[in-house]
Amino acid sequence: MPSLSDEQQLIANTVRSFVDREVIPVASRMEHDDEYPHQLVEQMKALGLFGLNVPEAWGGSDVDYTTFAIVFEELARGWLGLAGILGTHLVLCDVLTRFGTQEQKDRYLPVLAAGGRRGAIALSEPNAGTDLQSITTTARREGDHYLINGAKMWITNARHGEILLILAKTDPHARPAHTGMSAFIAEKGEPGLVVGRDIEKLGYKTVETCELYFENFRVPAENLIGGVEGRGFKHVMTGLEAERINVAARGLGLARAAFLEAIRYAQQRTTFGKLICEHQSIQIKLAEMATRIEASRLLIYSAAEKKDRGERCDLEAGMAKLFATETAADVSLEAMRILGGNGYSKDYPVERFYRDAPLLVIGGGTNELQRLIIARQLLARHSID
């Protein structure tokens, strides 16, 4: 791990202590019961985590992206679902900070930074997830409002969040399609918005994932992010670059948690007259797990540092997201194999890590998409023309 400043170390220690003291003791029980962590969210508000990437002028802490990644690593080490509640909220904050008008920032960022109202991002649809240019939700200007019609799916924070980032087509006939897409910030309360069912999932429980339905849902024209139509795709893709860093960090945190369970267990369990950590096959697994975890951390910090310099980092963020989340999936399975039957039991948290890990491989842009992004960037950088 690179050396951290005093401020970075203070934030890391504060979040780590919160996770050790408040999260880990209750995470498995609450996850199995599908109980929403209201009290933990209140404590996260008190820690200022909902304003991590909001400038100080609007009440946030505006941390660097290395610190940002450390926070998500520590939260996911305790409970991936808890990190998810925060991650989606901060994507909205990132888009609003970068592209919102002064009035939009003044109105929404202070309450978002305080966690007084939580954010959700309404991008994916039943037939458009990875390929956002295929969305069919529309926003039609009518006087001083837009009327939004369509459906969104896989929306984290849809039920408990109160402020939405909505991606819609203001010009459905534009070619290429992304030039006709716009982003809006919207508040619940107007008629025409229905929060549908909570989608039942393999893992990533407790944090709600819902469907949203819009029927002539009115959004004030001044809530068009940036005040100009046709730029929404760029807005959300820039926000998703930061999201990939936080998803990668979540993968790192989950992998660390699974590894620590495995290496502790390996030093306590005896088979064939000796501790299983003395068996060469277990040692090889532990070495591979630890090496991939450390490589994940370095990739994440590399992407974070480039983001902090204001440089384009979709290649580095894609590599970090791909490697760290695949590591989480593999390490959680290897941890289960080291624990044997106990790893399959709800008495140990490894089964929770195993169920949570696939979300990281799929969410934040599938890893198949990450490979394409990486390859295209490599070809562009190493063009022989």
CA dihedral 345, 41, 113, 316 (to 10 degrees): 0
Q: How far is CA 355 from CA 54, 153, 322, 349, 358, in A?
A: 32, 21, 18, 10, 7
Residue 223's Cβ-count burial label (10 Å; 0-12, 13-18, 19+) is buried
Q: What is the DSSP string of 313-372?
A: -HHHHHHHHHHHHHHHHHHHHHHHHHHGGGGGSTTSTHHHHHHHHHHHHHSSS-HHHHHH
Residue 368 bears catalytic tag: no
Q: Which residue(s) pair with 119 in the sheet?
A: 163
Q: How far apart are the first and last CA of the chain?
A: 39
Instruction: List the catalytic residue out of 74, 243, 334, 351.
Output: 243
Record the tokens describing residue 91, joined without a space. Answer: 């994507």
Separation between Cα atoms, residue 161 and residue 49, nearest integer Å:
16
Record the tokens describing residue 119, joined without a space. Answer: 């954010």
Give rounded-to-5 percent helix, strand, coil for the chain: 60, 15, 25
Separation between Cα atoms, residue 286 and residue 260, nearest integer Å:
10
Record the tokens describing residue 342, joined without a space. Answer: 């106990």
Record the tokens describing residue 101, joined without a space. Answer: 């008008």
Q: Closest Cα to residue 97, out of 87, 112, 86?
A: 112
Neighbours of 88 (CB within 10 A): 23
Q: Which residues, other chains included, contact 265 with Cβ-Cβ below 8 Å and sequence gap of 6+? A: 276, 338, 339, 342
What angle in degrees, to the nearest 10, is found between the helix axes of 65-78 and 6-18? Answer: 20
Separation between Cα atoms, residue 152 and residue 196, nearest integer Å:
10
Contact by Cβ (8 Å): 254, 297: no
Separation between Cα atoms, residue 57 and residue 29, nearest integer Å:
39
Record the tokens describing residue 293, joined without a space. Answer: 């975890």
Record the tokens describing residue 97, joined without a space. Answer: 């900070």
Which residues belong to the active site? 243
